[in-house]
Each structure stands twice: as structure tokens, then as C-alpha cells.
Amino acid sequence: MDTSKIIINNALKIFFGIVAYFFLMKVLGLENITELRLFNFLIVVWGVNSAIKQNLYRNHNNTYLTNLSIGFSTSFFAVLAVAFSLIFYITFIDFGLLGIMENSSVWGKNLSLGKVIFAILIEGLASSVICTFIIMQYWKKYKTNILA
């Protein structure tokens, strides 16, 4: 399987997983509980692990740097998709989300959409890098001849 397909498919899995999770939080009235937002890290772990695992088992490629770049790329595209969907959501559906964020102890006051998106991108990319390095510690021991 082409690595770009692996990256795109798993980035979409992460994106839809995070969107579904936040939609569920909204439906259940839990969007005010900031701590629950940390669960999206597990969704990123799941998607990045899936991408690296697919490259190992389908392409029989256990090159560390290749799998590391697949993990980074997968999470990068997922974070970009989440950021753009957040822009759309706040702009067209619920501008009040910025107020909810301002009232939480995590974000602080005087928020703008640009500040929130910048923070989401930085936080998302940082957690994605950490997530990818953690997952690669597990998968780096697998050899191609074991997978064949």
C-alpha cells in the first residue's frame, strides 16, 4: 500500500475520532469539562499506531526514519484538519465556544479565534511528536524478516 494512502487514511481516522468525541461531549453537555479534552491524545495514539503498523505489515518496511515520518505526517495532517474544522465550527456554528474556553482555567482571558487556532496547532503538533516517538519505541524492535 502506498504510504501516502496510509497517512491520509489514518489522519482521517484521527480527525473523525476527535470530531466524534467532541460532538459526543457536546451532546452530553460535557464541553465545559476541560480535562476530558485530554482524551483526544489517546485518539492520536490510536491513529499514529495504526499508520505505523500498516506500513510495517503491508509494506514490510521497518526503517525507523520512514515509520517516524509516517507517524509525524499522519498526526500533522490530522491536526491541520482539526484546526480547520474548529475554525469552521466557531465561525459558523457556535461562536460561544470561545466564551467557554475563556471561562476555563486552561485558556485564560481575551481569546481570539487566531490565538486559539495557533495554540491548538502548537499543542497538537507537540503532542503528535511526543506520541510518535513513544509509539516508535515499541515498533522499532520489529524486523522485516519477522513480518514477511
Report pLDDT digits (tens) over 92-147.
887 777 776 776 656 667 778 888 899 889 988 998 899 999 999 998 887 655 54
The predicted pLDDT at position 104 comes to: 64
Percentage of residues in the chain having pLDDT higher than 70: 90
The predicted pLDDT at position 148 comes to: 47
- Residue numbers of the domain that contains 38: 3-147
Number of domains the chain is built from: 1
Q: Which of 43, 42, 45 is nearest to 16 (CA)?
A: 43
Mean pLDDT of 28-53: 87
pLDDT at 87 over 70: yes
Mean pLDDT of 22-32: 86
Pick the more confident residue, 98 or 69.
69
Residue 56 to residue 45: CA distance in whole angstroms: 16
Structural Rg of the chain based on CA atoms: 17
The predicted pLDDT at position 129 comes to: 92
Average pLDDT, the chain: 87
